[in-house]
């Protein structure tokens, strides 16, 4: 196990470095996206969040933080992870195509004034891009949370938040930082006295 100490230290340093670089390069977009979510929630809108795999877990994590609580005891905030209803996901994937699973839910649930947050480490997940495209067409504000160069997500996101890394684990760690930061800022803005 002692052989792991150096490797573990390197992983830690890489993770911290990516998060610092993420904040330095994306501060404006991070804060702009938090403000967009805040404005939507304050004006009766909701947050629709979606992604695949680890990004699906991140979507569920963020929705839980808004609906339950983050740090403050408070009223719930409306957020929906579009990754949780297995009947919808499997019906759409079976009857149509997996690339339609978020698009159909956005069309059914999204309203102007809502925010759609698509998460994809590559920025190229077809179903996430189609969800963002549908959201934009329905008048939702769209946020893309991604990594690397942003992939094709830039074409569909009103606000693009890009983790400057090509390493999926480091991107996902920065995504959790983003989620927690946004949750804390929005919660404090609405409920802190």
Q: What is the mean pLDDT of the chain?
A: 97
Is 120 annotated in a binding site? The answer is yes
180 annotated binding-site participant: yes
* Domains of the chain listed by start with CATH number: 36-191 (3.40.50.10490)
Q: pTM for this structure?
A: 0.96
- The arithmetic mean of pLDDT across residues 170-189, rounded, is 98
Distances (CA, A) of 137 to 8, 82, 142: 45, 18, 10
Q: Is residue 61 a known part of a binding site?
A: yes
121 is in an annotated binding site: yes
Q: Is 90 annotated as a binding residue?
A: no
Q: How many CA atoms lie within 13 A of 97 on its CB side?
A: 7
53-86 per-position pLDDT tens digit: 999 999 999 999 999 999 999 999 999 999 999 9
173 assigned to a ligand binding site:
no
2 has a pLDDT exceeding 90: no
Quick one: pLDDT at residue 1?
Answer: 57
Rounded mean pLDDT, 6-11: 94
pLDDT digits (tens, 9 = 90+) for 79-109: 999 999 999 999 999 999 999 999 999 999 9
């Amino acid at each position: 196990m002692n052989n792991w100490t150096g490797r573990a230290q390197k992983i830690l340093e890489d993770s911290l470095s990516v998060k610092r670089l993420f904040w330095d390069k994306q501060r404006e977009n991070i804060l702009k996206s938090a403000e967009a979510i805040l404005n939507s929630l304050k004006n009766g809108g909701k947050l629709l969040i979606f992604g695949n795999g680890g990004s699906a877990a991140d979507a569920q994590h963020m929705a839980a933080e808004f609906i339950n609580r983050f740090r403050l005891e408070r009223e719930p905030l409306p957020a929906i992870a579009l990754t949780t209803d297995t009947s919808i996901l499997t019906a759409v994937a079976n009857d149509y195509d997996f690339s339609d699973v978020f698009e159909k839910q956005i069309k059914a649930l999204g309203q102007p004034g809502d925010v759609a947050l698509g998460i994809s480490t590559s920025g190229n997940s077809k179903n996430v891009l189609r969800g963002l495209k549908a959201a934009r067409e329905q008048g939702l504000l769209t946020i893309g949370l991604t990594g690397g160069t942003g992939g094709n997500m830039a074409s569909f996101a009103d606000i693009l938040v890009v983790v400057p890394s090509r390493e999926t684990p480091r991107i996902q760690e920065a995504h959790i930082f983003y989620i927690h930061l946004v949750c804390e800022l929005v919660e404090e803005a609405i409920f802190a006295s």
